[in-house]
Copies of this chain bind each other. A is one copy, B any other.
Amino acid sequence: MSSAPPDSAAAPAAETVPIERTWWERRGGTVTVALSRLALVVVLLAVWEWSAERWFDITFTSKPSAIWTRLIEWHQDGVLWANTWVTLEEIVLGFVLGSAAGALAGFLLASAPRVYRVLDPFVMALYSIPKVALAPLFIVWFGIGTNMKVLLAAATVFFLVFLNTAAGVREVDRGLVDAVRLMGGTKRDIALKVILPSSMTGMLTGLKVAVPYALIGAVIGELVASNRGLGYLINDAAAQFDTAGVFATLVVLSVIAALLNLVVGLFDRWVGRWKPLEART
Contacts and interface: CB of A to CB of B under 8 A. Distances in A.
Contact of A170 (B121, B256, B279): B279
Contact of A258 (B60, B124, B257): B124
A262 to B, nearest CB: 8
A228 to B, nearest CB: 16
Helix, strand, loop or mixed for chain A's interface? Answer: helix
Interface residues of A, number: 69
Copies in the complex: 2
Of A32, A132, A159, A253, chain B has the most CB atoms within 10 Å of the CB of A132
A92 to B, nearest CB: 14
A11 interface: no
B40 A122 contact: yes
B205 A163 contact: yes
A238 interface: yes
Interface stretch (A2-10, A68-76, A133-141): A133-141
Interface stretch (A15-23, A189-197, A214-222): A214-222
B215 A128 contact: yes
Nearest to A141: B60
B137 A61 contact: yes
Contact of A254 (B125, B174, B257): B125
Interface stretch (A45-53, A77-85, A112-120): A112-120
A278 B125 contact: no
B60 A136 contact: yes
Contacts of A160: 160, 209
A8 B261 CA distance: 60
Contacts of A202: 167, 205
A37 interface: yes
A140 B55 CA distance: 13
Contact of A164 (B164, B216, B261): B164
Contacts of A117: 33, 281
A261 B124 contact: yes
A174 B128 contact: no
Nearest to A124: B261
Contacts of A136: 60, 238, 243
Q: Which of A160, A205, A219 has the most CB of B within 10 A?
A: A205
Contacts of A215: 128, 130
A276 interface: yes
Interface of A: 32-33, 36-37, 40, 57, 60-61, 113-114, 117-122, 124-134, 136-137, 140, 159-160, 163-164, 167, 170-171, 174, 201-202, 204-205, 208-209, 211-212, 215-216, 219-220, 223, 231, 234, 238, 243, 246, 249-250, 253-258, 261, 276, 278-279, 281
